[in-house]
Structure 1
Amino acid sequence: MTTKKIRVLFVCTANAARSQMAEGLLRARYGDRYEVFSAGTRQSTVSPHAIAAMREIGIDISHHRSKTLDEFTGQSMDIAVTVCDRAHQVCPVIPFAKKTVHYGFLDPHTVQGSSEDIAGAYRSVRDAMAAWIDDEFGAQKTV
């Protein structure tokens, strides 16, 4: 007998970094229990910095593409997680999700400085997300 996976959608503004990294992390760590997606309130492109930060820990998101929430209309999600404050303001409740939660992470795209400063910001967000995902999804919890 197969167990139905819990469907999780991560949402940020542009679906370029935070939601993409969260999707990759949850799928890599707990993909046996969760079917994972990501979307934005608007479409962009996946950040090369996010791809590089994830590659450093052995997770390949280079095949991901930026999507909008409209692509998921008509589908049902068990949990939607807004991972940025702006997406949470625009969509405090995702109508096609049974439950919407918010956990905001720093926008690494706004960090200025050297290439190492920027890479460090993406690593920091990645690591904070990984810890949160382990806490919230790792112990059979469903936020």
Structure 2
Amino acid sequence: MVVLDQAFEAGEVDLHRIKYVFLKVCKETLNGSVAIILYLANEELKGGKDVLGQSRVLQWLYFAHNHLLHYAHHGMNFPQLKDALKALDKHLLNNTYLATERATVGDLAVLSALKNVKEAVNELRCVKRWCTTLAAHPIGKQVYN
């Protein structure tokens, strides 16, 4: 566990042999990466004031968690991972970023999840372009490099 300051602690907890991240904020505890990301991100990274944009960000956060991270540890031979990467490439054919016209935590979560399957990224033209774009972005540099 890490004590960030008097009001914050962060770490991992094993629950039924599965590791979960947590963040203690004063007397409250947030469990899971999606909840923590949404708590820590600023308004722009959460999709701005537009509810549809915010919903799209949430969609991509869950895509990263449920479709990329979940299957990436099985390797590229897992059909669900291949299907998820193809869907991502298709979405990026006509979009610079995933959820809005700017980089969001949805982009960062997917980018982070792709670190486990970098060899597959090189085979997907649109995903490769998107990764290059995000890796050059000030906040993306911290995630992908």
Please state which band the TM-score falls in when normalised by the shorter chain.
Answer: under 0.3
User: Hey, which of these two has a bigger chunk of helix by percent?
Assistant: 2
* TM superposition score normalised by structure 2: 0.27
- Which structure's relative contact order is higher, taking Cα pairs within 8 Å and 6+ residues apart? 1
Which has the higher Rg, Structure 1 or Structure 2?
2
